[in-house]
């Protein structure tokens, strides 16, 4: 078994009211920041052992479907990275040029049947 970190990002579907983001956007605009839109999201990081990155992603997706996200109002994304040796974690964002030998990554996104948001 290999140690993986699964990151599950849960956000409200397009069109669902997001009062937390609206309040934060108003506060940022009062501070002088100009924003087009702002969306809030919850991020869960789960450390787990699995036979492969795909198996870790399947387990994390099951967690998201069963508890972390409400499919009626939420979209979620699952990203899995192999934990590095010596306790170092792989960078999950923008780490394309910093690849580690033997490192695997799997991604699942549930927004397939919703409008594309243009985000990856």
Q: How confident is the model at residue 33 (pLDDT cuts 50, 70, 90)?
A: very high
Q: Is residue 59 part of a domain?
A: yes
CATH code of 18's domain: 3.30.1280.10
Mean pLDDT value across residues 87-112 = 38
What distance in Å separates the CA atoms of residue 119 and residue 42, rounded to the nearest whole number? 16
Q: What is the pLDDT of residues 51-79, one digit of tens each?
A: 999 999 999 999 999 999 999 999 999 99
Q: How confident is the model at residue 84 (pLDDT cuts 50, 70, 90)?
A: confident
* pTM of the predicted model as reported, rounded to 2 decimal places: 0.70
According to the model, what pLDDT value does residue 91 have?
36
Q: Is residue 22 part of a domain?
A: yes
According to the model, what pLDDT value does residue 108 have?
54
Q: How confident is the model at residue 85 (pLDDT cuts 50, 70, 90)?
A: very low
Burial code of 84-112, b = ≥16 C-beta within 10 A, e = fewer?
Answer: eeeeeebeeeeeeeeeeeeebbbebbbbe
Mean pLDDT value across residues 32-59 = 97
Q: Is residue 96 part of a domain?
A: no
If one counts the domains in the chain, the total is 1
Q: How confident is the model at residue 110 (pLDDT cuts 50, 70, 90)?
A: low
| Residue 19, domain extent | 2-88+104-113
């Amino acid at each position: 078994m290999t140690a993986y970190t699964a990151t599950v990002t849960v956000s409200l579907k397009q069109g669902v009211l997001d009062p937390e983001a609206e309040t934060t956007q108003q506060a940022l605009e009062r501070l002088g920041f100009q924003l087009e839109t702002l969306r809030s999201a919850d991020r869960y990081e789960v450390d787990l052992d699995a036979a492969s990155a795909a198996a870790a992603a399947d387990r994390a997706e099951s967690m998201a479907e069963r508890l972390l996200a409400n499919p009626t109002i939420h979209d979620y994304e699952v990203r899995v990275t192999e934990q590095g040796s010596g306790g170092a974690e792989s960078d999950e964002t923008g780490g394309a040029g910093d690849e580690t030998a033997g490192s695997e990554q799997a991604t699942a996104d549930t927004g397939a049947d919703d409008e594309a948001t243009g985000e990856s």
